[in-house]
Each structure stands twice: as C-alpha cells, then as structure tokens.
Amino acid sequence: MAVIHRATITPTKQELVAGWLPTQPWAVGLAEPTAVGSYRVDDRDGEVGVECLLLRAGESFVHLPLSYRAAPLDGAEDHLITTMEHSVLGPRWVYDGCADPVAVQELLAVTLTGGEEAPLEIEEAGRIVERRPPTVQVRGSGSLDAGSVPRIDGVSLRSLGATARVSAADYELTVARLIGAEEIAGDATLFAVWPGGDAVVVGVTGA
C-alpha cells in the first residue's frame, strides 16, 4: 500500500523531469515531456518512496523510475536528480531509481513474483481520505514466492542506448528509458498498461 500525502512539493515533478531529462544522452532531442501517469511499488521497510513516472515527449514515451528518500543515499551522488521540499515530510532526496538498491529491489520483486502496482491511499491530517486508482497498471510475469527474492545491498548501473542495465545480486534488469525504442525481454518481465498504450518496461534475467 502506497500512502500519498496531500502536500505541496518544490520543485514539482514536472519541473524535476524538465531539468533532468536534457542532461541524459538517451533523451537528446526529445520534445518537452508531459505527464501520462505513474505507478508505485512498495518498499517492504516503508522508508523509501518508489514511483515510476510515464511521460509523453512528442511521439516518444519516457519511463522514469524515481526514489524519494529522507536522507542522502551514500555513494549515489552522481545519480541524485534533485532535492525536493515536501510540505508534510520535509526535505526529500530524489534519485534515479535505477541506481537505488531499494527501488531496484522492489522492481525486481514485483517482476519475479507476478506482483502488481501498489494501491494508492491519500492521507490528509493523519487520516486516509481517499483510495485512488493507479494511472498506470503493471503486472510481473514471474511466479517466485516473495521470500525467495534476495535482498539487494548494492547495484551497478550502466546505460545502453534507450535502456538502463542494472546488475543486482545474481540478476540483471533491463529497464526501458524510452518505451518501444528497444525490445525489453527476460526470464521474467514487467508489463505496463496505461490509457491508450501498453509495453514491457522491465526485463529480468537470471530468474
């Protein structure tokens, strides 16, 4: 269950994306992005927010995993996208989720176990006031028991064209950056559906 606070955030997610995308080689020449939706996966320890944004940039779709942390992630300075001020939670450090072990852990888990996106609950003044349907739905193709998914202590990230390649434990994840630019395959995959489209967004080998 992902709890979303009714809050003001500075910079906004749109501003965050607009500032970071032009710095990425795979995003050169993209049109200005607009939000399509997002999905969340739960951190089993409840400490790190993990959200994957889906954006449209001209004829292209961008898939952008993010992690939201209450403190800096040691050794991940090169993958810090921005710091954000959240009116309820305070300062947040926002990272490229492909470089965050917690985000990778939970993307791996949902893919390998046949899981789905986290349900969204909206919290205001300490109360759940709304349950909101996700704007992007995902489902993993795997069938592992959740207890069989290993703990991820660290990741190795490299970019390859329009995909991110992430090595973690005995697995390698291929994460789509630009959806449809390359085929995403694996022993298990994560399939996303949004209004007007669908695609495999994560592939896992070593499963």
Instruction: Encode pLDDT of 86-102 as tens digits.
Output: 767 779 999 999 999 99
* Closest to 80 in 3D by CA, of 64, 59, 94: 94
pLDDT at position 6: 53
Question: Domain ranges in the chain?
Answer: 2-205
pLDDT at position 46: 83
The pLDDT tens digits along the chain (207 residues) read 455 555 577 888 889 898 999 999 999 889 999 999 999 998 888 889 999 999 999 999 999 999 999 999 999 999 999 999 876 777 999 999 999 999 999 999 999 999 999 887 776 666 666 677 889 999 999 999 988 898 898 999 998 889 999 999 999 999 999 998 899 999 999 999 999 899 999 999 985
Identity of the residue numbered 163: T
Q: What would the two tokens of residue 60 be?
A: 């292209």
pLDDT at position 1: 47
Q: Is the dihedral of CA 12, 18, 20, 26 positive or negative?
A: positive
CA distances from 118 to 32, 43, 78, 99, 122 (A): 28, 10, 28, 21, 13
pLDDT at position 163: 96
Instruction: Encode pLDDT of 138-174 as tens digits.
Output: 999 999 998 889 889 899 999 888 999 999 999 999 9
Instruction: Encode pLDDT of 80-90 as tens digits.
Output: 999 998 767 77
